[in-house]
Amino acid sequence: MRFVVDLKVCQDHGQCAYAARAFSLTEDGRLAFRQQNANVYESADVSDAERDDVEEAADACPVQAIEIRD
Ligand code: SF4
């Protein structure tokens, strides 16, 4: 599976970073994927071991910016 983050919707709340290691915040509190300067971030393949955590991150996001793609 992969996941996609809509960076136009994301408000840098950071709950995803607490749920899954695949997500992190920068020192100034913004989602690290923003550094790629795009409106959408698409991940590489997520391992089965990380899948539950990424699904938890998607559930935790208050603005539903994270979409799981199988
Ligand atoms: S939880 Fe949602 S809004 Fe918050 S940083 Fe993660 S993707 Fe963005």
37 falls in which pLDDT band (50, 70, 90)?
confident
Q: How many other CB atoms are there within 10 angstroms of residue 52's CB atom? A: 11
Pocket test for ligand 1, best of 64, 66, 67, 68 (most atoms within 8 A of CB): 66
Instruction: Give yes or no for a contact between 9 and 64, defined as CB atoms under 8 angstroms apart.
Output: yes
What gap in Å lies between CA 3 and CA 46, rounded to an integer? 8
Q: Which CATH number fits domain 2-69: 3.30.70.20, 3.40.50.720, 3.40.190.10, 3.40.50.300?
A: 3.30.70.20
Between CA 3 and CA 11, with CA 6 as vertex, the angle to 5 degrees is 120
Q: What is the mean pLDDT of residues 9-34?
A: 96
Among protein residues, the one whose CA lies closest to atom 6 of ligand 1: 16
The values of phi and psi at residue 36, to 5°, are -85, 0
- Report the pLDDT value the prediction gives residue 62, as an integer from 0 to 100: 97
40 falls in which pLDDT band (50, 70, 90)?
very high
